[in-house]
A and B are shown apart, each in its own frame.
Chain A
Amino acid sequence: MIEFKGITKRFVRDRTPIFALRDVNLTIQQGEIFGIIGESGAGKSTLLRLINGLETPTQGTVKVSGIKLSDLSKGSLRELRLKIGMIFQHFQLIQSRNVSDNIAFALKAAGVKRSDFPSRIKELVALVGLEGFETNFPSQLSGGQKQRVGIARALANNPSVLLCDEATSALDPVTTLQILELLKDLNERLGLTIILITHEIDVVKQICHRVAVMAHGEVVEVANTYDIFSQPTHDVTKHYVDTALQIELPERILRTTPGKIIRLQFTGEKTGESTLSEAIKQFDISVSILHGKVDYIQNVAFGVLIVSLTGPTLHVNRALTWLEEQLHTLEVIQDVA
């Protein structure tokens, strides 16, 4: 659906070249919710803008539905943009126009007949759940409502792709969830391909099917959201996952707890507790849970437990080997005999 090949983007600022993107290769499938996560300055915003031609690459090609963007004339690029909606962190609504007229802007851009405006606007307003606010001006709306107007405007011409530029970063947590739910719903109901950039791993966790992690203009990791959480490989990714899970043991606890302290990760059907209780029975050791968390990513359970194992060394070691076989991911944090 969307294909980046060998993309490099170079800016020149104060006579020194800055690489916003370095050799990016990425393919985004039709119908998926694809997340791009990274710190500000990682290049994700530039990458997103390549898709609708708001930015052009210094090197490499961008293809949307098989069409090479660099081959398009200005007019054809505008036509393509009708089919690629975009929403923004700060909504970017026309302040001097009410909700209906803001949506109408996109219809005018597409040359839709004026007589078709009312019915189409009515549909769109209903789609984003803004009935009754048609004549309100943006300044009279909350952040979440403004973003809904942004979504309605972006969807006005039945696009197949929606680009989200930090679409929830200016919203409070509750509103963020509502907007993400709406996006998820649109993805499922309309088969809309959604590409969102964010610096919040929670957003990725909530709705993304796949995610690309960016750092310093490079895509350092691409994987299913679940795999990103369960098997992060790059340091940047690990950092994001740790922040999201918020699992860290206080130093004092580490120092004063006897035995082997291990970090177990369990995924899917195999829950940590049942495996642990089996280990206790089989190897005659005692286990105390120091920290733990179970999270659901794409409706699959994902958990981390930090436990200390105490007992005869031989037993503990055997238990450890067995647990490692059972769970695959196990890490010894501290080993005090």
Chain B
Amino acid sequence: MWLERIQTMLPELAKALGETALMVGISLGFALVVGIPLGILLFITDRGLFFQNVFVRSILDFFVNIVRSLPFIILLVALIPLTQLLLDNTIGPTAASVSLSVAAIPFLARLVETSLREIPPGLIEAAEACGATPFRIIISALLPEALPGIIQAVTLTTISLIGFSAMAGIVGGGGVGDLAIRFGYYRYDNVVMIVTIIVLVVIVQSIQGLGNQLARRADKR
């Protein structure tokens, strides 16, 4: 009986997976494009570094902390006006991606900053002593050195986004998490619940495994 149920839920599951992939993909894309530079900026504007700027640093720090201090479900609802403004629509996976991106950017930025902080200050000093420009130091010294940490940070962000996206059902975003809530919780459909749990566990484990492997390969220490 449960085998049949699985069969009938497959199209539903495939659609949900597609929605999750869309939401996570879009927001991760924004996180990479905006969050990594933001993390770098947070790091190099700090005291004692070559782009030291107390003003910029404290403003960025403030905004990152604000976003990070809100539970995602609240951020999701609070950003509905912004989503309306940007997309002229507040429903569906694309709409949910706005809030997801806003959550993911500071999340990844903070993690990137932390991995940059592990670089010995002496190495940055050595790069400066070589006569390198700030751009050169970032591209050819900081990023390669922090790469294993950044890969881990992206992995963690992806997994967190999958978790966050489960709440996207609130704004009709769909996705695997939403499927589990709608069928498994509201309709007591245990088969759907168990299947989605298994699917999510497999996805998260694979992403973590891939991330670990890439990070290990990048790590030459």
Contacts and interface: CB of A to CB of B under 8 A. Distances in A.
Prevailing SS type, chain A contact patch:
mixed
A97 B144 contact: yes
Interface residues of A, number: 31
Contact of B125 (A54, A82, A105): A54
Which residue among B122, B129, B219 has the maximum number of chain A CB atoms within 10 Å of its CB?
Answer: B129
B119 to A, nearest CB: 9
Contacts of B71: none
B133 to A, nearest CB: 7
A109 B130 CA distance: 7
Contacts of A80: 131
Contact of A96 (B127, B131, B132, B218): B218
Contacts of A54: 125, 128-129
A97 B218 CA distance: 10
Nearest to A95: B221
Interface string A92-131: 1111110000000110111000000000000000000000
Contacts of A90: 120, 122
Nearest to B125: A54
A84 B126 CA distance: 12
B129 A78 contact: no
B141 interface: yes
Prevailing SS type, chain B contact patch:
helix
B218 A94 contact: no
Contacts of B145: 94-96
Contacts of B5: none
B138 to A, nearest CB: 12
A279 B60 CA distance: 82
A94 B141 contact: yes
B220 interface: yes
Given A92-B126, A94-B144, A105-B140, A82 B131 contact: yes
Given A92-B120, A96-B145, A137-B220, A78 B133 contact: yes
Interface of B: 120, 122-123, 125-133, 136, 140-141, 144-145, 147-148, 218-221
20 contacts: A54-B125, A54-B128, A54-B129, A85-B129, A86-B129, A90-B122, A92-B122, A92-B126, A93-B123, A94-B145, A96-B144, A96-B148, A97-B144, A105-B130, A105-B141, A109-B132, A109-B133, A153-B130, A157-B131, A163-B129
Given A78-B131, A92-B122, 7 more contacts: A54-B129, A94-B123, A96-B145, A96-B148, A106-B131, A109-B132, A156-B130
